[in-house]
Amino acid sequence: MVAPKTKTTTEVPEIAVKFSEQVISTVKQYQQLSIDAAQTWAKVAAAFPVAELPAIPGVPELPSTEALTAFAFDFTSELLTAQRSFALQLANTLS
């Protein structure tokens, strides 16, 4: 007779948690530096004249940068969620 398999839960090692927190902190600092640099560049670039591009008949107007960015992140979020579910199911099956 085979004994039933018991699941054991192991905690993520503290060093891994601290490392991930440090990575996130570093990424956030880099992001803030990038935002600051982009804002400075935008202020300088705003002083230059911008030519209006003519509309092309029959071609729809492109979505805004914000709309495209939101769409891309929504898509990748859904994809990552699906991949996470798949990986967890696969890990559970193989364990």
Identify whether 70 is part of a domain. yes
Identify whether 24 is part of a domain. no
Identify whether 51 is part of a domain. no
Identify whether 79 is part of a domain. yes
Residue 78's domain comprises 66-95
Identify whether 25 is part of a domain. no
In total, how many domains does the chain have?
A: 1
Q: Alpha-carbon distance 62 to 56, whole Å?
A: 11
pTM of the model: 0.59
Per-residue CA distances from 75 to 7, 68, 85, 86 (Å): 34, 11, 16, 17
Look over the chain and give the mean of its residue pLDDT values, rounded to a whole number.
88
At 64, is the secondary structure helix, strand, or coil? Answer: coil
Tens digit of pLDDT for each residue in 17-63?
999 999 999 999 999 999 999 999 999 998 988 888 788 888 788 88
Identify whether 27 is part of a domain. no
